[in-house]
Amino acid sequence: MLTLDYSNCLSDRVGPEHGLDPDTLTGPLADRARELTASLERTRGTGWERWRLLADPVGTRRGHVEAVRALAEKHAGRWENLVVLGIGGSALGNIALQAALNPPTHNLMGENRRGPRLFVLDNVDPANFAAVIDVCPPEKTLFNVISKSGETAETAAQFMIVRDMLDKHTADPASHIVAVTDPERGTMRKICDEAGYDTLPVPEGVGGRFSVLSPVGLFSAAMCGIDIDALLDGAHEMETMCRRESLDRNPAAMLATILVELGKGRAAKPGVCKPNHVLMPYCNGLYLLADWYRQLWAESLGKRHNTAGEEVFEGFTPIKALGATDQHSQVQLYREGPNDKVFGFVEVESFGVSDVKIPEGLGVENLAYLEGKNMGALLNAEKRATEYALVESRRPNYTIRFPRVDERAVGAFIMLWQVATAYAGLMLGIDAYDQPAVETGKKATFGLMGREGFDQWQGKVEQALGGPGRIITQ
């Protein structure tokens, strides 16, 4: 199971100005966490917190897994390519699971590949879209379109192109599509029912950024050979831990407490408040989980108003980095720039059979210290050295430690951050489940693209951005 080491966020490591007093974690902060745990227990599995039951064996898990597995078995061995169409929460989890649990060379492998090549089209960049479609002949490709409503402009545009292509170039277009959408209503639901597409549900009460452990993320994972039961087992084990009342035994409550307290609970002056939260895996395979975390943390906590309707402008800025790569590009800033960040390391204890041994007998005196060592040991030494360097500079940091990178650990990591987000939302007094600022951009896009009923948005855009420009040209 994952462990959380928060020692370097305490005052006895980084000093009283930048670290938390350990006594507060057994005093008032522990009391507050206990209250919030009781509150989350009351709302668990209701409203927009139904995501907490996705991994629970007595929740919605069984039905989802059976449906996903049945479709994965139906399509097994039939396709050279699986192309996911989605954006935001409908794509980031799929990408993160693939990067973490399959080799980086998955799409280049032959007979040993665990399933079809996987491409996730999470943008409407035409060059990127065209390049992927060019190497995915329709007759050899299954398309997994993910959209609860079917009206998100980016995914709708992708789907319209793909549907037209399948109609023109395949004998049975419906057999090439699996849609994950609302089980009862919406534009995509209507299209699927009329066309006879295979479908899986976007569960009610599960927002996009909390949906990776639902069919949204599970179908592409199962198609590519990932053990979805082990993934959900790890998530369930973590979710159970995160129901504990005691702060020092509840990793999500502790993670949220540290980040919120260091982010805004301190004296509000530069160099003391730490509203920037860096997540730095020391493992390439886990790097894209940092992308998934960025959406979860930013979209959930960045809110103009609190639940009382007061203007508060809450939130923290999530930043991703990669160890050891970014030791050579970012650590100069992290150590000597503004002391306004909390650093989260992700460490892997064992890389198992993937570890590589550095050969001996090269006869170079200054490199002899590396001979016979494993690259995994070097990578973890790099992490330990950076951890020390940050503590030396009074920069608080914590470590989430994986025993190994496998489905169980990845599932636990995902659930840890989801529950920590729920705690943080309560601590900040905001609604962690809405995203009104995102909706504004969607409506403006509809207006600019000429969607009926959104004409006023085009006028708003022109009024705000029109007039003489100040442009430098050649």
Average pLDDT, rounded, for the chain: 95
Using CA of residue 207, residue 212, residue 218, residue 221, what is the dihedral sign? positive
Q: Cβ distance 341 to 274 under 8 Å?
A: yes
pLDDT of residue 473: 83
Task: Note down the domain range covering 114.
Answer: 50-229
| Residue 270 pLDDT class (50, 70, 90 cuts) | low
Judgement on whether residues 88 and 222 belong to the same structural domain of the protein: yes
Q: In whole angstroms, what is the distance from residue 120 CA to residue 99 CA?
A: 11
Of 181, 202, 229, which residue is a domain's last? 229
Of 182, 207, 229, which residue is a domain's last? 229
Judgement on whether residues 13 and 87 belong to the same structural domain of the protein: no
Asked whether residue 213 carries a pLDDT value surpassing 90, the answer given is yes
Give a yes or no: residue 467 inside a domain: no
Judgement on whether residues 263 and 395 belong to the same structural domain of the protein: yes
Judgement on whether residues 281 and 187 belong to the same structural domain of the protein: no
Give a yes or no: residue 225 inside a domain: yes
Give a yes or no: residue 247 inside a domain: yes
| Residue 261 pLDDT class (50, 70, 90 cuts) | very high
Mean pLDDT value of segment 211-224? 98
Judgement on whether residues 157 and 275 belong to the same structural domain of the protein: no
Give a yes or no: residue 455 inside a domain: no
Asked whether residue 269 carries a pLDDT value surpassing 70, the answer given is no
| Residues that are catalytic | 299, 328, 442
pLDDT of residue 463: 87
59: tokens are 């929740």
Give a yes or no: residue 433 inside a domain: no
Judgement on whether residues 207 and 329 belong to the same structural domain of the protein: no
Judgement on whether residues 64 and 187 belong to the same structural domain of the protein: yes
Task: Report the predicted TM-score, pTM, of the whole model to 2 decimal places.
Answer: 0.96
Asked whether residue 456 carries a pLDDT value surpassing 80, the answer given is yes
Give a yes or no: residue 453 inside a domain: no
Residue 459, number of CB atoms within 10 A of its CB? 11
Domain of residue 193, CATH code: 3.40.50.10490
Judgement on whether residues 248 and 138 belong to the same structural domain of the protein: no
List, for residues 223-246, the tens digit of each pLDDT value: 999 999 999 999 999 999 999 999
Asked whether residue 384 carries a pLDDT value surpassing 80, the answer given is yes
Give a yes or no: residue 449 inside a domain: no
Give the 3-state DSSP-derived string for 398-459, with helices as H, strands as E and coil as C. Answer: EEEEECCCCHHHHHHHHHHHHHHHHHHHHHHCCCCCCCHHHHHHHHHHHHHCCCCCCHHHHH
Asked whether residue 265 carries a pLDDT value surpassing 80, the answer given is no
**Of 112, 63, 86, 85, residue with least CA distance to 176:** 85
Give a yes or no: residue 459 inside a domain: no
Of 428, 450, 466, which residue is a domain's last? 428
pLDDT of residue 233: 98
Q: In whole angstroms, what is the distance from residue 458 CA to residue 178 CA?
A: 34
List, for residues 76-85, the tens digit of each pLDDT value: 999 999 999 9
Mean pLDDT value of segment 317-327? 97
Q: Cβ distance 337 to 319 under 8 Å?
A: no
Judgement on whether residues 79 and 207 belong to the same structural domain of the protein: yes
Q: Cβ distance 221 to 228 under 8 Å?
A: yes
Judgement on whether residues 309 and 361 belong to the same structural domain of the protein: yes
Mean pLDDT value of segment 11-20? 95
Q: Cβ distance 394 to 11 under 8 Å?
A: no
**Of 215, 155, 148, residue with least CA distance to 187:** 148
Judgement on whether residues 256 and 342 belong to the same structural domain of the protein: yes
Using only C-alpha atoms, the chain has a radius of gyration, in whole angstroms, of: 24
Judgement on whether residues 21 and 77 belong to the same structural domain of the protein: no
- H or E stretch at 82: strand 81-85
The count of structural domains within the chain is 2
pLDDT of residue 266: 60
pLDDT of residue 271: 67
